[in-house]
Structure 1
């Protein structure tokens, strides 16, 4: 699956219509973002069952603000429309693969149960 350029109009559909979505918040002027781009692209080629999207924080300031992006690159991962990972900074390829494997192995029923318990106690 090719990398999707995410914007205000396709963000919601992308998250709703894909089980797992990896998002790379980046900017053209960001050196670490440019270094991370080939790693992100290689992972997208290896994981055809996962949606990979890039969000240019300069062009999509509303999305960057919505998710309180303060540093770039920031990697954010949704699974079944739930944010399960968000981390600023570039990841080396083995670390990204490790994160992807952990995301795929998650028991989402347990995640939803934990979220419900947190909401009840709040």
Structure 2
């Protein structure tokens, strides 16, 4: 599955309805974002079982603020409704692959996000 651009309206539904989602918070003017884009895209092609979403922070400032994004690119991972990883900075392909493998293995109880919200 290729990456897909999302907006504030899509974010919560994607987090809650998907088993595993990787978010790339980026900006068109950001050099490291441009370098990381093809790495993120290649990982999306290699992992069709995962949702890969791109968030343009300039077009989704409310979402970037709500997610606490202070630098780009920032990679965020949600699993079963819960944010399990967030880090600023572009990753090498090998580091992203390793992170994806760790995220897949991580045991997160179903409805963990719902339980925390109650």
TM-score by length of 1: 0.87
Bigger CA radius of gyration = 1
For residue 2 of structure 1, report the CA deviation from its aligned partner.
Answer: 2.1
For residue 95 of structure 1, report the CA deviation from its aligned partner.
Answer: 0.2
Secondary structure of the residue that 2:21 maps to in structure 1? Answer: strand
> Aligned residue for 2:56?
56
**Pairs within 5 Å for 1:1-122:** 1-109=1-109, 112=112
TM-score by length of 2: 0.90
Instruction: State the aligned residue count.
Output: 113
Distance 1:2 1:16 in 2: 20
For residue 3 of structure 1, report the CA deviation from its aligned partner.
Answer: 1.1
Q: Any idea what the Cα deviations from partners look like across 1:63-107, whole Å, max 9, x if unmatched? A: 000011101000000000100000000000000000000000011
Q: List gaps (5 residues or longer) in structure 1.
A: 117-122
Q: List gaps (5 residues or longer) in structure 2.
A: none
Runs (4+) of structure 1 exceeding 2 A deviation are: none
Q: Any idea what the Cα deviations from partners look like across 1:26-77, whole Å, max 9, x if unmatched? A: 0000000000000000000000000000000000000000011101000000
Secondary structure of the residue that 1:40 maps to in structure 2? Answer: helix
Secondary structure of the residue that 2:63 maps to in structure 1? Answer: helix
